[in-house]
Amino acid sequence: MLKTTWGRALSLVLVAVVLWFFGRSLLEQRSAIGARWDELHPAWGLLALSGFVVLISYAVLIETWRRTVVAWGAQIAWTSAARIWFVSNLGKYVPGKVWQIGAMSLLAEQNGVPAVAAVGSSLVVNLVNLLAGMLVVLLTAAQLIPGARVVPMLLIVTVLALATPWLLPWIARLASAVLRKPIAEPKVPPSAMFVALVGCMIAWVLYGVAFQLLAAALFGSTSGTTASYIAVFTLSYLAGYVFLFAPGGIGAREDVLQRLIAAAAMHPVPDALLLIVVSRLWLTVLEAVPGLLLLAFRRFTPPTP
C-alpha cells in the first residue's frame, strides 16, 4: 500500500496532521507557558546535538533489526534496512500498531527477505523493544517507583526477556491467526535475542539522553539527573505505545510525561509544557522527514536475481 501514490499522500497527510495538532497545542498553551516562551533563546548547538543523538539511536535500532533478520537466515544490506525502517515507521501515525509491523514486513519481502524472516523479525524487534524499555525504566526510575516494588518488577521483566526465544513459537501462532497468513515457527538463537535486547536498551538510553539535551537547549540547564530523563521519556513513550488507537501515541504520551516530570520535580509547569510540546514536534520531524523523503523519491523494488 505504501508504494502507491495514495499511500504516499496518506502518509503526508497524517504527518501534517500530527505537526498541525501539536503546533496548535503550543499556541493554546501559550497562556500556561506565559512569559517563559518570550524569554526562550534556544542553544542551537545543543539542539543539533540532541537531534544527532536521536539519529544515532535510530541507527542502533536499524542495526538491531537487521541482525535479527540475519539470525533468521536471511540477508539484507544496511542501507535497505534503513530505508525500510524509516518508511515503515510512518505506519505508527495510523491508528493501531499493526500498520508499522505490516509495512516493515511487506517492504522487507520486496527487498528479497523471505516472508518468515520479514514478519518474524518485525514481531520480535517490537516485542523485545517493549521489554527493553521496561528494563530501562526499572533500572533508572528509582525516584519514581517505590524501592520495594522495583526488585520484583525487574525480576518479572528480566524473566520475560530471557524467555522470549521460547515464547516466540506461541507468538508466531498468534500472529498467524491475527494476520491470516501462515508463519513458520521461528527458531532464533538465544544469542540473537540477547543482542536485540541490548541494542534496544541502548536505543532507549540514547532517547533519554537526547531528551535531556533538548531540555538543556531550551532552558540553558537541567535540574534532573540523566537517569530521570531516561526514565520519564521511556515510560511515557511506552504508555503512548500501548494506546493502540492513538496515532503515534498522541495525547497519552504527553499526559504521562507531564505527570512524570511533575512527580520527579524536574521542571516547573510552564517549562514542562513547553518541553513536552517541542519534544513531540522535534521527534516527529526527525522520525517522519527521512521516511517521507524516501517514500517520495525512492521506490522499493525487489533486488535483481
Distance CA 182, CA 185 (A): 9
Q: What is residue 38's predicted lDDT score, i.e. its pLDDT?
A: 65
Give 300's pLDDT tier (boundaries 50, 70, 90). very low
Phi, psi of 145 (to 5 degrees): -115, 125
* 33 part of a folded domain: no
Q: Which of 33, 26, 38, 47 is nearest to 271 (CA)?
A: 33
Distance CA 217, CA 94 (A): 31
Cβ density class 100-132: b for 16+ within 10 Å, e for less: bbbbbbbbbbbbbbeebbbbbbbbbbbbbbbbb
Lowest mean pLDDT among 54-68, 117-131, 147-161, 266-280: 147-161
* 146 part of a folded domain: yes
Give the residue, 117 or 214, on which the prediction is more confident: 214
Give the residue, 276 or 212, on which the prediction is more confident: 212
What would the mean pLDDT of 161-181 be, rounded to a whole number?
65
* 50 part of a folded domain: no
Highest average pLDDT, of 27-31, 171-175, 195-199, comes from 195-199
* 24 part of a folded domain: no
Cut 0.85: pTM above it: no
CA torsion sign for 110, 111, 114, 115 is negative
Q: What is residue 143's predicted lDDT score, i.e. its pLDDT?
A: 60
Mean pLDDT of all residues belonging to the chain: 75
Q: How many folded domains does the chain comprise?
A: 1
* 172 part of a folded domain: yes
How is 159-174 classified by DSSP, letter by letter?
HHHHHHHHHHHHHHHH
Distance CA 287, CA 93 (A): 11
Q: What percent of the chain has pLDDT over 90?
A: 14
- Count CA atoms within 13 Å of residue 293 on its CB side: 8
**What would the pLDDT profile of 110-158 be if each residue is shown by its tens digit?**
777 776 677 777 777 888 888 888 888 888 876 665 554 555 655 666 6
Grid cell listed for 210: 537526547
HEC-encoded secondary structure of 68-126: HHHHCCCCCCHHHHHHHHHHHHHHHHCCCCHHHHHHHHHHHHHCCCCHHHHHHHHHHHH
What would the mean pLDDT of 175-200 be, rounded to a whole number?
71
* 38 part of a folded domain: no
* 27 part of a folded domain: no
Q: Which of 54, 56, 75 is nearest to 66 (CA)?
A: 75
* 258 part of a folded domain: yes
Q: Residues near 81 by Cβ (< 8 Å), separated by ≥ 6?
A: 62, 63, 65, 66, 69
181, 134, 49, 281 alpha-carbon torsion, rounded to 10°: 60
Domain with 213, as residue range(s), is 5-14+56-297
